[in-house]
Chain A
Amino acid sequence: MTAATLFGLCAAVLIGVGLYGLIVNPHPLRKILAFNVVGSGVFLLFGAIARRGAAAGMGGDPVPQALLITGIVVAFSATALAVALLLRLFDVSGSATLSSDAPARPGTDTDAR
């Protein structure tokens, strides 16, 4: 088995594992983590395809590799935004849950009142 096929299959499993975690874990931070696992699986799949495109003396197709770099940086910025949202939710409500009937801690923030 070539490295590209091996890591391509590995990426397929990573996407599945991440998807499962995204659905099953109720805590938002764990959902962010699971989403990142899905994301890295997608990147890895793309990377395996890039590796198969090795030609002209290059180890892989440079176009998908360049897009991967863009993708990794954008994924980081999305994660940072999600974490900031979550921390803000925690500051305002004292809890970090996505369910609407959870007990909230009232009046902890000047804006929330």
Chain B
Amino acid sequence: MAEFLVGAAVFILAMVALGLMRILRGPGDADRIMAAQLLGTGGVAAVLLLGAASGEAATADIALTLALLAAFAAFAFVKAKLGQATGESRPTDSQ
């Protein structure tokens, strides 16, 4: 069973790694963030599969941390992007 679980982790990682081609191709930053998002989810799945294969219970906590922080980069990116688009100026520049 352990061998199968590791194999599944390898397959999922290989798949999401192919998705990283989107980081190379773009065209926009949003597409790149999407690829990172996909790899984040794939990473959570891989950590869980490897943890089940090795029987190490603590790996679930790593997956938990990844899951909690998975979308933070995307939030920060959108926030910065929207801030720029609406012309939100830094106060230092406006005075």
Decide whether A and B are members of one complex.
Answer: yes
Among B45-95, those with CB < 8 Å from A are 90, 92-93, 95
A100 within 8 A of B: no
Q: What bracket does the count of chain B residues touching chain A fall in?
A: under 10
Taking a contact as CB atoms under 8 Å apart, the answer to whether A91 and B95 are in contact is: no
Taking a contact as CB atoms under 8 Å apart, the answer to whether B93 and A110 are in contact is: no
Closest to B94 in A: A108
Q: What bracket does the count of chain A residues touching chain B fall in?
A: under 10
How far apart sit A92 and B92, CA to CA, in the bound complex (Å)? 8
10 contacts between A and B (CB under 8 A): A91-B90, A91-B92, A91-B93, A92-B92, A108-B92, A108-B93, A109-B92, A109-B93, A110-B92, A110-B95
How far apart sit A83 and B92, CA to CA, in the bound complex (Å)? 17
Q: Hey, which chain A residues are within 8 Å of B95, CB to CB?
A: 110
How far apart sit A76 and B95, CA to CA, in the bound complex (Å)? 32
Residue with the greatest number of chain A CB neighbours at <10 A, chosen from B90, B92, B93, B95: B92
Q: How far is the CB of B61 from chain A (nearest CB, A)?
A: 14
Q: Hey, which chain A residues are within 8 Å of B92, CB to CB?
A: 91-92, 108-110
